[in-house]
């Protein structure tokens, strides 16, 4: 079974709005793409469209937060975080407002829209902001759980990173999550694979392939990129002298940088292979791009094979 995380977000917002009347959505002319349209139909007085004006998107969300609402400001990740970064920094984060910035269509899995629409820097520029927490769910089940967790536990700004394309559903509907802790999905002491977002499913398939070669890997899902479960990552790093990070994001400033910082700061004897993007993407079908840039299961497997040599 497969489902896009943006679809799961749309369903979750509508579901939880019944118990959270403070929820409002703000879109920049993309409610069909961000999947807030069903919420808007059910709650026409709580859904706002500011047009193609991302700075206004964040400014409006900040104003609604000051009036006691819980705004979800939604757009493509590259626009929500890039065009409106100054407003997020100065209006939302400085004032510690409970605005949830929802960045859909993140990474090269966005596909045919090409490099202008494929956010590969968004985690880095959101992580650096004081007060901003960052979530990157692996599948639709975890997306719903993260939205619920944000509504019940987060009091300040959050960034929720979502994808356009369908990805494998990894978790059962009755799964118990413990955010912001990392979650081990497979067990092995030969290698640790840290993965986040849309590539978690690919990392699991790659781990199954290397198991056939006699290498047992622990695949670890890191869905909360800030605050970081430092102790959880350290415990995983102690299993092996080699680790891998996998992300549909630049290798600078994302998951790979998080793990590398911990290795350096703690003096852990571990060598890391960072699998991710080293430049811009391009236009193409989503999984053709994953194959070209080595983010599909086969590509991850081949890179790990070379790394282990």
Residue 165's pLDDT is: 95
The number of C-alpha atoms within 13 Å of 153 and in the hemisphere containing its C-beta is: 10
Question: Both 196 and 269 in a single domain?
Answer: yes
Question: Both 8 and 154 in a single domain?
Answer: yes
Question: Both 148 and 246 in a single domain?
Answer: no
Residue 214 CB burial class (10 angstroms; 0-12, 13-18, ≥19): exposed
CATH number of the domain bearing residue 7: 3.40.50.970
Backbone angles phi, psi at 279, to 5 degrees: -170, -160
CB 301 within 8 A of CB 294: no
Tell how far CA 4 is from the center of its chain.
12
Q: How far apart are alpha carbons 70 and 131 in whole angstroms? A: 16
Closest CA to 217 of 195, 188, 237: 188
Q: What's the total number of domains in the chain? A: 2
In a domain, 268, yes or no: yes
In a domain, 49, yes or no: yes
- Alpha helices (H) in 35-186, listed in sequence order: 37-42, 54-66, 77-82, 85-87, 122-127, 140-153
Question: Both 77 and 152 in a single domain?
Answer: yes
CB 247 within 8 A of CB 219: no
Residue 229's pLDDT is: 98
Q: Final residue of a domain: which of 138, 168, 198?
A: 168
Q: How far apart are alpha carbons 135 and 159 in whole angstroms? A: 6
Q: How far apart are alpha carbons 113 and 10 in whole angstroms? A: 21
Question: Both 20 and 156 in a single domain?
Answer: yes
E strands, the chain, in order: 2-3, 23-27, 47-49, 70-76, 100-104, 133-135, 158-161, 167-168, 183-184, 191-195, 217-221, 224-226, 242-250, 271-277
In a domain, 93, yes or no: yes
* pLDDT tens for each residue of the chain, 309 residues long: 999 999 999 999 999 999 999 999 999 999 999 999 999 999 999 999 999 999 999 999 999 999 999 999 999 999 999 999 999 999 999 999 999 999 999 999 999 999 999 999 999 999 999 999 999 999 999 999 999 999 999 999 999 999 999 999 999 998 889 999 999 999 999 999 999 999 999 999 999 999 999 999 999 999 999 999 999 999 999 999 999 999 999 999 999 999 999 999 999 999 999 999 999 999 999 999 999 999 999 999 999 999 998
Residue 294's pLDDT is: 97
Q: How far apart are alpha carbons 75 and 77 in whole angstroms? A: 6
Residue 309's pLDDT is: 87
Which pTM does this prediction carry? 0.96
Question: Both 143 and 257 in a single domain?
Answer: no
Question: Both 153 and 242 in a single domain?
Answer: no
Residue 176 CB burial class (10 angstroms; 0-12, 13-18, ≥19): exposed
In a domain, 175, yes or no: no
Q: How far apart are alpha carbons 149 and 197 in whole angstroms? A: 17
What residues contact residue 244 under an 8 Å CB cut-off, 6+ apart? 191, 192, 193, 194, 272, 273, 274, 275, 300, 303, 304, 307
Q: Give ∠ CA 153-159-165 in degrees, rounded to 5.
A: 115
Question: Both 213 and 141 in a single domain?
Answer: no
Q: How far apart are alpha carbons 19 and 173 in whole angstroms? A: 20
Neighbours of 116 (CB within 10 A): 12
Structural domain harbouring 234:
183-308
Q: Give ∠ CA 145-225-60 in degrees, rounded to 5.
A: 75
SS3 210: helix
Residue 174's pLDDT is: 85
Q: How far apart are alpha carbons 206 and 184 in whole angstroms? A: 15
Closest CA to 49 of 79, 26, 81: 26
CATH number of the domain bearing residue 229: 3.40.50.920
In a domain, 250, yes or no: yes
Residue 110's pLDDT is: 95
């Amino acid at each position: 079974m497969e489902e896009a995380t943006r679809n799961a977000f749309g369903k979750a917002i509508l579901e939880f709005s019944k118990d959270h009347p403070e929820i409002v959505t703000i879109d920049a002319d993309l409610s069909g793409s961000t999947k807030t349209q069903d919420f808007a139909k059910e709650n026409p007085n709580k859904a706002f469209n500011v047009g193609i004006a991302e700075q206004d998107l964040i400014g409006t969300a900040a104003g609604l937060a000051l009036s006691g609402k819980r705004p979800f400001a939604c757009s493509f990740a590259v626009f929500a975080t890039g065009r409106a970064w100054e407003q997020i920094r100065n209006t939302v984060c400085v004032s510690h407002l409970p605005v949830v910035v929802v960045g859909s269509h993140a990474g090269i899995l966005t596909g045919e829209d090409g490099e202008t629409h494929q956010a590969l820097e968004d985690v880095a520029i959101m992580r650096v902001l004081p007060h901003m927490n960052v979530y990157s769910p692996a599948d639709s089940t975890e997306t719903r759980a993260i939205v619920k967790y944000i509504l019940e536990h987060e009091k300040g700004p959050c960034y929720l990173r979502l994808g356009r394309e369908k990805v494998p559903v990894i978790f059962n509907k009755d799964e118990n999550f413990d955010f912001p802790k990392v979650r081990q999905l497979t067990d092995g002491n030969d290698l640790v694979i840290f993965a986040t977002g849309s590539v978690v499913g690919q990392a699991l398939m790659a781990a199954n392939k290397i198991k056939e070669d006699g290498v047992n890997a622990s695949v670890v899902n890191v869905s909360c990129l800030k605050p970081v479960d430092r102790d959880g990552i350290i415990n995983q790093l102690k299993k092996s002298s080699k680790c891998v990070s996998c992300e549909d994001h630049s290798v600078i400033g994302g998951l790979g940088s998080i793990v590398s910082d911990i290795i350096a700061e703690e003096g852990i004897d571990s060598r890391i292979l960072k699998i991710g993007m080293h430049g811009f993407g391009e236009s193409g079908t989503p999984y053709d791009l994953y194959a070209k840039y080595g983010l599909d299961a086969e590509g991850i497997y081949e890179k790990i094979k070379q790394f282990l040599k």
